[in-house]
Amino acid sequence: MKPPQNRRVFVVGYGAATPLGATFAETWRRAVRGEAGFRKVTRCKVESACDVVGEIPDWFPLELDFTDAKEVYNWNAAFVILTMAVCKEALENAGVTMEASIAPRTACLIGSALNGSDAYRAAMHDLEHRGPLRVSPYLLPNLCANLPSGKAGMLLKFTGPIFSPEGACASGNHAIGIGARMIRDGDCDFVLAGGADAPILPELIHGFANMNATIKVHAGDRAAGDPAQASRPFSIDRRGFVLSEGAGVVVLAAEEVIKAHGLEPRAEVLGVGWTSDAHHYTSPNPATIIRAIRETLEDAELAASDIQYVNAHGTSTAKGDRTEVKCLREIFGRSLEKIPVSSNKSQLGHTLGATAAIE
């Protein structure tokens, strides 16, 4: 029998790999110390002043307890192994054991903005330098948006719905919102929801630079001597975001399931709201952003006056930050001056499809 609808949804676990650390614990340890995870790019060679990035430190896929050389070689889209590791960490953090009764009621929703771009780059190199017969037969699945969720399911043995919500930089939030609705409606008991992206590639670094989206660190910029200062959301001298890699996953669960399994609720998902701009591919439309916030408050049965903190998207771009502040002022009015607003991108940079889930 399907569980009743309108169930309460809680977060019971989380996992992350970010420019601050290869695990949630290390990310949190450095985050609360006010550190930023930026440095000159080491993974590739770029010819651009946009060469400050967020790379995951101490990330060694071959040293994970579920991989071997063949696994890492075949599944060479970095967001795949990243997702598997972070999902495993999240379930362990939650204290969930994948029993036979749980597996069919557990879903996995992992969003991504750029999917397996690195696997495609490797295949193009092999095609050009080694010939067509050396292109990996694993290329096509490595490009599939749902592959990380699928590989996580194979590793952790859950058999509920698996798919990938695609919403660019909102992908992680889409995953969490859809997952919460699935639990609320009785379709699942547990959902691993989040996002993953690994965009530290020369083509992508140069592409974002040519969009004037990422910061160009020239002489005289305060980040020239200290890359940690490259991302500065809402600052008057902000000059663009820092491109980063990462993954983040939360474990969502229904209230009665938490009680039955003796799990610890860490937070509650109260409301979800979503809209689209139908406006421009990078320039935001304030009207639909405001509507999304209002729909979220309505879904959560909260008033604007109930909000005590806002985690802003805060990309550190001139237009984006200005638009976000305009929207928040429309929602909160003069009381906004009393509400703390901050952006984790000052420490993590922009992890694209992973950013909303990590933050």
Largest CA distance in the chain: 65
Phi, psi (deg, nearest 5) at residue 237: -105, 25
* Matching residue, tokens 């420490």: 347
DSSP 211: T
DSSP per-residue string spanning 76-114: --HHHHHHHHHHHHHHHHHT----TTTGGGEEEEEE-SS
Residue length, the chain?
359
Q: How many CB atoms lie within 10 A of CB 60?
A: 10
d(CA 283, CA 30): 32
* Amino acid of residue 234: F
Sequence-ordered list of residues with C-beta below 8 angstroms from that of 317, at least 6 positions apart, any chain: 213, 238, 240, 241
* CA 278 to chain CA centroid, nearest Å: 23
Number of H helices, E strands in the chain: 13, 10
d(CA 94, CA 85): 14
Residues marked active site are found at: 169, 313, 350
Q: How many CB atoms lie within 10 A of CB 66?
A: 12
